């Protein structure tokens, strides 16, 4: 053959391409010992079967035999399993990324999988909305409660005799109703077509069906969006206040989240329905299997709803229910956590290399270690309540710790865990007060092994064995409707000052000037203005003295110096309150003496002042035991704003002080006190840059990685 014939012969090029493909795509040798291997298992069937049925045993045997990283064969490759002693290293390592792993495993970027594309976009705008609006929004609790009540009436019924429910459909349906009331709003939260669509989509039947569901979701959401825009325009033309929507559809549009509204809604459904529904089923089975704990749970729910109504405070103070939820969560926890992909070749602490592109996970077998949790395979609904009462600050359902990573950890901790906590407690509270539940004789808390994971068996037992009976006691809604909650009146915008209407009938907003008095519309505010203007603006005033170069002062430790006593007291109170909110939001930590755990925040504020006093030079020279006591008294019984009994967040702080960087100042002061920023961040580089700008040095080069979670 001539050279031209060789060059033009497609057979030669095809052969070379096949050889190159085989070479470059050949399976790499595992970097660590591979455990689940079998002779002559060329297709990997035995390896997959062993992992599917006995993942826990494979991991335990590997730890006992090697006590070092090892590999397991999974259907689509090999995963590296690290011992849980390396969990802290994994969480802190920026070369190990969870988002990129999920994007790859769940086909982000492919048609039909747009929900994953939106959720894991580079700007993380949707996750920011989840953290800031969905999880910390107390005004959605009443809306979710009403939606769950309607869902139970529709799906579980009101028959006064023992009857069964469709185990899988009617449990997922309750969670779908509650979450949709916040995700999509009033137009579609009870719509059967929409509820079926979101429940079917996250099950991922096949790509073709997924693409059809995405198309339909886009059509439905575009119709809702167009209808809202039309109503807003009509209201504007008629000179009246347009309706305000307190849901994710509205929040994501206001935040400028990129993507189709239908894609965003499917993304929320995928993130919120499957894991929350699984947790819901596991908790129900444990409660039905252990009926002796039901009276105590009913007593707690009744007391909290009677006292606080349908509020965050009521849910936070359901500490026994929280303990039961976490106990059920552990019993069905995955055998692994902290799944990551290596973005670069990464060196382990022992010197071994994790190759770039490797999938890693950290084993969680310590959850079943009797030295960590006595009798780990036996349900003990009081286990985490006892630990909380003993001072364990990581015993709450939403919290992660050095040994507990069900919700992930570090910068990749689940942003929706607080929302899941709220919806689970609401649903369980309704069920505890309205129904008796039981399993058929001989049926237990059966779980189905799914490799590293487990799920409540949807077929073998519970479809026909989960019985419910209408309970005789008052329902959750009856208790709320027959009770006036003093806590709710004090700490939340319970009703419009002018007309008396309350959520969910209307949406309330505070007066922009005083940031205290609630109204449902501009008309109501106008009607009340004659009376309100005498008080408006007489709420918490700004600081009496504004110091120059605050970030420079933060750097040299004189931020509180040269200020009046009143200003110092106010700043200490607000630095503590924001730190408590940050720890709850970013770390999942609520200390026993925190508002978020139902404790006495005054004790927490005292400990904060102790820490400030131990840092030489942070407090002004006039600080004494007497001024400390005065500061404590103001924190305990101060005005409607500077009070440790009131929660704050970043947006509220910045609005109150009229400075979009004031929350940053408070965070940096607290970092000087504790030695670390919220979520393990380090604000030094940001502080130095802002300090340089204050004295005219111009911007400096810095890395924003450490500040990335403080949006």
Binding residues: 414
User: Residue 582: which of 511, 648, 495, 493 has the closest Cα?
Assistant: 648
Residue 344: how many other CB atoms lie within 10 Å: 12
Q: 272 Cβ partners below 8 Å, 6+ apart?
A: 175, 179, 183, 416, 419, 420
As to burial, measured by CB atoms within 10 angstroms (0-12 exposed, 13-18 middle, 19+ buried), residue 622 is: exposed
**Tokens of residue 624, six digits:** 């004494």
- Which residue pairs, CB below 8 angstroms and at least 24 apart, start in 203-209? 207/110, 207/111, 207/112, 207/113, 208/112
Q: Is the peptide bond before 554 cis (omega within 30 degrees of 0)?
A: no
Q: Are β-strands 77-82 and 359-363 bridged in parallel, bridged antiparallel, or unpaired? A: parallel
**Residue ranges with strand state E in 301-355:** 336-342, 346-347, 353-354
Decide if 248 contacts 118 (C-beta within 8 A).
no
Q: Residue 556: what are its φ and ψ, rounded to 5°?
A: -100, 10
Binding residue ranges for heme? 414
As a whole number of angstroms, the distance between CA 57 and CA 62 comes to 8
Q: 127 Cβ partners below 8 Å, 6+ apart?
A: 119, 415
- SS3 call for 77: strand
**Tokens of residue 709, six digits:** 């979670």
Q: Are β-strands 447-450 and 453-456 bridged in parallel, bridged antiparallel, or unpaired? A: antiparallel
Q: Residue 210: what are its φ and ψ, rounded to 5°?
A: -60, -45
Query: What is the chain's Cα-based Rg?
Result: 28
Decide if 550 contacts 567 (C-beta within 8 A).
no
Helices assigned H by DSSP within 591-649: 601-614, 625-637
As a whole number of angstroms, the distance between CA 369 and CA 358 comes to 28
Count of residues in the chain: 711
**Tokens of residue 239, six digits:** 């000179």
Q: 467 Cβ partners below 8 Å, 6+ apart?
A: 162, 163, 164, 437, 438, 439, 440
As a whole number of angstroms, the distance between CA 686 and CA 670 comes to 15
As to burial, measured by CB atoms within 10 angstroms (0-12 exposed, 13-18 middle, 19+ buried), residue 90 is: buried
- C-alpha angle with apex 400: 70 to 347, nearest 5 degrees? 35
As to burial, measured by CB atoms within 10 angstroms (0-12 exposed, 13-18 middle, 19+ buried), residue 455 is: middle
As a whole number of angstroms, the distance between CA 640 and CA 131 comes to 25
Decide if 208 contacts 214 (C-beta within 8 A).
no
User: DSSP for 7-46?
Assistant: HH-HHHHHHHHHHHHHHHHSPPPPSS-B-S--TT-TT-HH
The DSSP letter of residue 88 is: H
As a whole number of angstroms, the distance between CA 314 and CA 319 comes to 10
Cα 469 → chain centroid: 33
Residue keyed to tokens 């059967």: 192
Q: What interhelical angle do 662-674 and 650-657 show, nearest 10? A: 120
């Amino acid at each position: 053959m001539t050279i031209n014939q060789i060059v033009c012969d497609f057979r030669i090029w095809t052969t070379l391409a096949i050889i190159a493909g085989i070479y470059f795509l050949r399976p790499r040798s595992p970097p660590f010992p591979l455990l689940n291997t079998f002779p002559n298992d060329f297709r990997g069937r035995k390896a997959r079967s062993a992992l599917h049925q006995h993942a826990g045993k494979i991991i335990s045997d590997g730890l006992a035999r090697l006590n070092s990283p090892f590999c397991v064969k999974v259907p689509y490759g090999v995963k590296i399993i690290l011992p849980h002693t390396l969990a802290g290293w994994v969480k802190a390592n920026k070369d190990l990324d969870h988002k990129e792993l999920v994007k790859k495993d769940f086909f982000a970027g492919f048609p039909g999988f747009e929900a994953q594309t939106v959720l894991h976009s580079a700007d993380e705008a949707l996750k920011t909305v989840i953290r800031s609006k969905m999880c910390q929004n107390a005004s959605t609790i009443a809306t979710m409660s009403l939606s769950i009540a309607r869902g139970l009436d529709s799906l579980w019924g009101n028959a006064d005799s023992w009857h069964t429910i469709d185990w899988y459909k009617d449990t997922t349906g309750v969670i779908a109703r509650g979450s949709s009331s916040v995700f999509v709003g009033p137009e579609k939260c009870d719509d059967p077509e929409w509820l079926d669509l979101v429940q079917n989509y996250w099950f991922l039947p096949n790509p073709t069906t997924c693409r059809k569901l995405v198309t339909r979701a886009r059509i439905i959401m575009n119709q809702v969006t167009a209808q809202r825009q039309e109503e807003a325009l009509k209201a504007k033309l008629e000179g009246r206040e347009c309706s305000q929507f307190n849901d994710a559809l509205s929040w994501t549009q206001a935040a400028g989240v990129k993507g189709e509204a239908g894609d965003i809604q499917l993304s929320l459904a995928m993130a919120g329905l499957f894991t929350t529904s699984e947790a819901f089923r596991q908790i129900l089975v444990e409660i039905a299997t252990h009926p002796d704990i039901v009276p105590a749970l009913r007593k707690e729910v009744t007391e909290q709803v009677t006292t606080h109504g349908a509020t965050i405070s009521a849910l936070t103070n359901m500490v026994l229910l929280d303990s039961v939820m976490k106990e059920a969560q552990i019993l069905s926890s995955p055998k692994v956590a902290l799944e990551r992909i290596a973005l670069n070749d990464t060196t382990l602490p022992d010197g071994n290399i994790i190759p770039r592109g490797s999938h890693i996970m950290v084993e969680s077998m310590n959850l079943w270690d009797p030295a960590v949790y006595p009798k780990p395979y036996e349900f003990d609904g009081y286990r985490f309540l006892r630990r909380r009462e003993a001072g364990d600050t990581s015993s709450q359902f939403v919290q992660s710790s050095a040994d507990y990573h069900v919700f992930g950890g570090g910068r990749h901790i689940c942003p929706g865990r607080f929302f899941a906590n709220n919806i689970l407690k609401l649903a369980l509270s309704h069920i505890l007060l309205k129904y008796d539940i039981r399993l058929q004789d001989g049926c237990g808390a059966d779980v189905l092994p799914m490799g590293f994971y487990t799920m409540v068996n949807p077929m073998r037992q519970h479809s026909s064995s989960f019985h419910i009976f209408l309970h005789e006691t008052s329902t959750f809604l009856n208790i709320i409707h027959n009770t006036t909650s003093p806590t709710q009146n004090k700490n939340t915008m319970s009703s419009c000052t002018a007309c008396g209407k309350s959520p969910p009938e209307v949406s309330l907003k505070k007066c922009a000037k005083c940031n205290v008095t609630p109204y449902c519309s501009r008309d109501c505010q106008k009607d009340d203005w004659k009376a309100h203007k005498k008080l408006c603006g007489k709420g918490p005033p700004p600081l009496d003295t504004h110091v120059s170069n605050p970030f420079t002062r933060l750097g040299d430790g004189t931020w509180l110096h040269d200020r009046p006593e009143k200003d110092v007291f106010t700043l200490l109170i607000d630095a503590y309150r924001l730190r408590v909110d940050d720890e709850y939001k970013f770390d999942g930590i609520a200390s026993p003496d925190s508002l978020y755990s139902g404790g006495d925040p005054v004790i927490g504020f005292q400990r904060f002042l102790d820490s400030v006093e131990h840092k030489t030079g942070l407090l002004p020279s006039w600080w004494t035991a007497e001024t400390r006591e005065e500061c404590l008294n103001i924190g305990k019984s101060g005005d409607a704003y500077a009070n440790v009994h009131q929660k704050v967040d970043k947006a509220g702080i910045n609005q109150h002080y009229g400075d979009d960087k004031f929350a940053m100042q408070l965070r940096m002061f607290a970092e000087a006190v504790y030695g670390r920023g919220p979520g393990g961040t380090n604000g030094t580089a940001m502080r130095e840059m802002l300090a340089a700008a204050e004295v005219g040095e111009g911007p400096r080069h810095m890395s924003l990685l450490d500040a990335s979670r403080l949006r």
